[in-house]
Amino acid sequence: MTALVQTEHAQQTALFMWASQNFERWPELRLMFAIPSGGLRNKIVATNLKAEGVRRGIPDIFLPVARGSWHGLFVEMKKQGGYATPEQKEMIDLLRAQGYGAVICVGFEMARDTLITYLNWSST
């Protein structure tokens, strides 16, 4: 599967579609979820989400599956030509310091390949 549309939304949607097609091979993919911390919102929704704990810089996706010395894997999705903000880079560094994998993936293919590598990594 290749994500032909270059928006970050399309790339992330393609990743979750791929994941759902591979639950049998990697059952752990059922645990993967998106973290709705970005996007345009009206002022009331943005205020409510901030009050509920939504924070700038949090990666887009979390796979709460331990591998190697990591407790789980956070993925920040970017479209081709996209870049991480200073807040995202700082959060990735903080998550890594706490024993989590945290990566920036440009496009569906990079994110898919990262997940495959992570899930195939021996936890022993």
CATH number, domain containing residue 51: 3.40.1350.10
**Within a domain: residue 3?**
no
Count the domains in the chain.
Answer: 1
Token couple for 51:
């009050």
Res 66: pLDDT: 97
Instruction: Identify the bridge partners of residue 38 per DSSP, sorted by sequence position.
Output: none
Note the pTM of the prediction, 2 decimals.
0.88
Closest to 95 measured CA to CA, from 118, 72, 111? 72
> Is 1 a member of any domain?
no
For the chain, the farthest-separated pair of C-alpha atoms sits apart, in whole angstroms, at: 47
Block means of pLDDT (10 residues each) for the chain, 124 residues, are: 69 97 98 84 80 88 96 96 93 98 96 97 64
Task: Identify whether 69 is part of a domain.
Answer: yes
Q: Which domain holds residue 33?
A: 8-120
CA distance 57 to 63: 17
